[in-house]
Amino acid sequence: MPNRISFSKVMIYFGLFMVFIYVVVGAMFIFAQVFTYIPREFRVIFGIFFVIYGIFRFVKIYPKLKKNSQDEDTDSI
């Protein structure tokens, strides 16, 4: 039977992708001149919020990623 990708593995990688998106959007709010119609103070607040939320999501996903990696190691033995 071919090796199938489990749904939980897909969700873990999707979660990591979203962490990347949150951090990038936060950095854009803080450093880029993309949202010039929003006052600078609000852009910094939104940017900090997105970066902190991205870090929070990574902290929540990391144990699942580590557990999945350990499960793959035991399955291959």
Tens of pLDDT, residues 51-70: 999 999 999 999 988 887 77
Task: pLDDT band for 23, please (50, 70, 90 cuts).
Answer: very high
Q: What is the pTM of this model?
A: 0.80
Domain count, the chain: 1
Residue 49 has pLDDT above 80, yes or no: yes
Residue 2 has pLDDT above 50, yes or no: no
CB 61 within 8 A of CB 44: no
Mean pLDDT of 15-32: 97
CB 26 within 8 A of CB 49: yes
Is residue 3 included in any domain, yes or no? no
Is residue 2 included in any domain, yes or no? no
Cα→Cα distances 47→11, 16, 57, 62, 75, Å: 25, 19, 15, 22, 41
Residue 43 has pLDDT above 50, yes or no: yes
Parent domain of 49: 10-75
For the record, the structure tokens of 31 come out as 């450093």
